[in-house]
């Protein structure tokens, strides 16, 4: 199953895969194999998790926090996937073959029960994980600093509220950049921000402060549409594989520059925001003055 890069849907998929793999089984092995990806705390990754049993999970934007019950109390495991992280599940009977398993080449941490091993694989080492007492993990994760999860926003008014400052004023920053600000709204990255704006017929350069209530409604629907479509395409019984350039691309505008707009046929254009490429249709997504 192919995906472009971890944004909200891929992280939700990872959460579901881990929950499904661990079930209510006791963790018998846990190992961190990368000091950059996994925070080196006290207790150690293994010490925190061995003997624990998964009791709950939550995701905010691109962050996941798993809650375990251990003989010593509640234990947490926070993780995010960075740019290339994904979860690989293998039966314990395959443990001996780990060295030859190409999919596990960039293993950063793993948790195993009697029957199943869950491994976080990340070639670029931008993923992060913290394990330890649940409340400490929650604090260290920075999740409290994130805006509301993008899947919990169902209408324009609620969406606009994410961006209003204390004065009630909206920023003049381009809406594309605002959508990717995790402290305001958690979960959208470069891909889904561009797709949501296309669905809402909003130019990515539009100053956030110039959106009308109709625009906010359209944008809230656009976010639901792009996240929902991708989420529905991800099967928690299958692993994700990120495609490199040239792989299949299910999106409307993302990396579709030079090809016709699926709505009007005009050529999709490419521009840049904060060093990241943005794709849009100049006819469907007119610039506001
Ligand atoms: Zn168009």
Q: What pLDDT is stored for residue 242 in this prediction?
A: 73
Domain match, 106 and 34 both: yes
- What confidence category does residue 246 fall into, taking pLDDT thresholds of 50, 70 and 90? low
**In angstroms, what is the C-alpha Rg of the chain?**
20
Q: Nearest 5°: phi and psi at 174? A: -55, 140
Q: What is the set of active-site residues?
A: 6-7, 62, 276
Peptide bond into 43 cis (omega under 30): yes
User: In this predicted structure, what is the pLDDT of residue 5?
Assistant: 82
75 plus 193 within the same structural domain: no
pLDDT tens by residue, 211-224: 999 999 999 999 99
**Claim to verify: residue 214 and residue 266 sit in the same structural domain:** yes
Beta bridge partners of 277: 272
Examine residue 230 and state whether it is found in any structural domain, yes or no.
Answer: yes
Q: How far apart are CA 167 and CA 133, in angstroms?
A: 38
Residue 245, domain extent? 150-280
In this structure, what token pair is assigned to residue 212? Answer: 């009308």
pLDDT value at 245 more than 80: no
CB-neighbour burial class of residue 73 (10 A; exposed 0-12, middle 13-18, buried 19+): exposed
pLDDT single digits (tens) 31-70:
999 999 999 888 899 999 999 999 999 999 999 999 999 9
Residues 66 and 12 in one domain: yes
What confidence category does residue 182 fall into, taking pLDDT thresholds of 50, 70 and 90?
A: very high
**Final residue of a domain: which of 145, 180, 204?**
145
Tell me how far the alpha carbon of residue 202 lies from the centroid of ligand 1, in angstroms.
Answer: 11
pLDDT band at 124 (very low <50, low <70, confident <90, very high): very high
Residue 157 and residue 117 in one domain: no
Q: Considering 145, 175, 194, which residue would you say is the last residue of a domain?
A: 145
Sign, CA torsion 140/141/143/146: positive
Element (H, E) at 163: helix 156-163
Regarding whether 90 and 187 lie in a shared domain, the answer is: no
Q: How far is the CA of 117 from the centre of ligand 1 (A)?
A: 46
* Average pLDDT over the chain, rounded to an integer: 93
Where residue 184 sits, what CATH number does that domain have? 1.10.8.50
Ligand 1 center from residue 191 Cα (angstroms): 17
- Specify the number of domains making up the chain: 2
The per-residue pLDDT for 261 is 98
Q: What is the pLDDT of residue 166?
A: 85
CATH of the domain at 114: 3.20.190.10
């Amino acid at each position: 199953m192919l995906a472009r890069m971890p944004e909200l849907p891929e992280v939700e998929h990872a959460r579901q895969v881990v929950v499904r793999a661990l079930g209510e089984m006791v963790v018998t092995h846990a190992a961190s194999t990368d000091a950059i990806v996994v925070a080196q705390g006290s207790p150690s990754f293994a010490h925190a998790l061995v003997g624990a049993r998964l009791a709950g999970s939550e995701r905010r934007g691109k962050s996941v926090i798993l809650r375990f019950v251990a003989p010593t109390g509640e234990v947490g495991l926070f993780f995010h996937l960075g740019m290339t992280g994904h979860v690989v599940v293998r039966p314990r009977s395959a443990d001996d073959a780990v060295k030859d398993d190409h999919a596990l080449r960039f293993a950063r941490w793993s948790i195993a029960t009697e029957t199943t091993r869950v491994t976080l694989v990340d070639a670029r080492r931008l993923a992060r994980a913290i394990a330890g007492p649940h409340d400490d993990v929650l604090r260290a994760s920075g999740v409290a600093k994130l805006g509301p999860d993008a899947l919990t926003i169902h209408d324009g008014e609620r969406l606009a509220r994410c961006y209003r400052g204390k004065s009630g004023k909206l920023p003049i920053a381009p809406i594309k950049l605002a959508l990717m600000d995790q402290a305001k709204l958690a979960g959208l990255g470069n891909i889904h921000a561009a797709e949501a704006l296309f669905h809402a017929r909003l130019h990515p350069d539009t100053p956030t402060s110039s959106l009308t209530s109709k625009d906010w409604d359209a944008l809230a629907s656009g976010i639901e549409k792009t996240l929902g479509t991708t989420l529905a395409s991800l099967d928690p019984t299958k692993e994700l594989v990120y495609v490199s350039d040239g792989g299949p691309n299910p999106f409307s505008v993302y990396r579709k520059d030079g090809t016709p707009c699926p709505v009007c046929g005009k050529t999709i254009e490419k521009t840049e925001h904060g060093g990241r490429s943005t794709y849009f249709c100049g006819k469907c997504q007119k610039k506001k003055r």
